[in-house]
Amino acid sequence: MKNILITLAMAVAACAVAFGVSYRMCCEQELHRAASEGDAMTWLRTEFHLNEAQFAAVKKLHSDYGMMCGEHCAAIMAAKKRNAPPAEILALEKTCVEAMTAHFKSVAGLMPPAEGERYLAVVMPRVDGYGHTGAPNVQMKP
Amino acid sequence: MNNHETNESLSRVLEGWRVEPKRDPGFRAGVWARIEVERRVPSWPGYVRTHVALAAGLMAVALVGGGWIGREQARARAGADRAAIAENYVRALDARTMRMP
């Protein structure tokens, strides 16, 4: 009985060690850190295997788009504040979506072709499905 | 009754006290039987040597099972991280979802 219990204990220990090693090996630490810190740029670099030049170009593109995005945001907010006609708000939002789509395509164009396609497959489905009420936790860092 | 008298009476009682255990003819055999039982239980390495297939199978199942669960857990976490960061990334670039300070 004692030997059976020792054998079972050894098996449980082996199971725990295998779990730990496997988890560590398969765990994408950088992705997890980027997700917990909201570091989208690190995510882009690692997820889509960008080299330094591609990463610098993508960062610049995001930085430039950030200003445009802020202007769109301000225009939408101003229209909502003054109770502009729905058609006007919709037009502003359409402009926003078009600019965003163009931006994502530009970013994809800076990536290796296969990675660019994968990038678009990740981001594009997330564009259309939003409600327009605001994002509670925007933590993206430049 | 003083201490001297107490000690004397205690001494008398002790003098008269005799332990007379009943003779157990099976005592020696019983001791050896118990020793033999203990001797026959193998040590753990000995137990493993005599149950190699069972022990090896158990270890293999434990290692494969632990490794598989670890991999699945890591994948699930990576998937959740990926979805969360992609969601935040797109939202951060969507003027419709922004709020002015």
* pLDDT of the residue at A26: 84
A16 chain-B contacts, CB cut-off 8 A = 66
The number of beta carbons lying within 10 Å of the beta carbon of residue B45 is: 10
User: What tens-digit pLDDT sequence spans chain B (101 residues)?
Assistant: 567 777 888 998 888 888 888 888 889 999 999 888 877 777 888 888 888 999 999 999 999 999 999 999 999 999 999 999 998 888 888 777 765 55
On whether any CB of chain A is under 8 Å from the CB of B74, the answer is yes
What are the DSSP calls for chain B, one per residue? --HHHHHHHHHHHHHH----PPP-TTHHHHHHHHHHHHHHSPPHHHHHHHTHHHHHHHHHHHHHHHHHHHHHHHHHHHHHHHHHHHHHHHHHT-GGG----
Residues A19 and B64 sit within 8 Å (Cβ to Cβ) = no
User: What tens-digit pLDDT sequence spans chain A (142 residues)?
Assistant: 788 899 999 999 999 999 999 999 888 888 888 888 888 898 999 899 999 999 999 999 988 888 888 888 888 888 888 888 888 888 888 888 888 888 999 999 999 999 999 999 999 888 864 444 443 333 333 3
* pLDDT of the residue at B98: 63
Of B41, B81, B92, the CB nearest to A31: B81
> What angle separates helix A40-47 from helix A29-37, to the nearest 10 degrees?
150
* pLDDT of the residue at B2: 67
> Of all helices (H) and strands (E), which one includes residue B15?
helix B3-16
Nearest-by-CA chain B residue for A8: B58
Rounded CA separation B101/B91 (Å): 16
Rounded CA separation A76/A94 (Å): 11
pTM: 0.64
- Name, in order, each residue with C-beta under 8 angstroms of A39's C-beta and a sequence gap of 6 or more: A33, A140, A141, B85
On whether any CB of chain A is under 8 Å from the CB of B53, the answer is no
* pLDDT of the residue at B101: 52
* pLDDT of the residue at A131: 41
Rounded CA separation A61/A107 (Å): 7
* pLDDT of the residue at B36: 86
Count CA within 13 A, CB hemisphere, residue A107.
30
Alpha-carbon distances, residue A54 vs A20, A50, A106, B88 (angstroms): 35, 6, 12, 22
As for the ipTM of the complex, it is: 0.74
A1 chain-B contacts, CB cut-off 8 A = none
Map out the domains of chain B as residue ranges: 26-97
Q: Which two tokens stand for residue A125?
A: 């489905």
Rounded CA separation A39/A37 (Å): 5
CB contact under 8 A, A135 and B55: no
Nearest-by-CA chain A residue for B56: A11
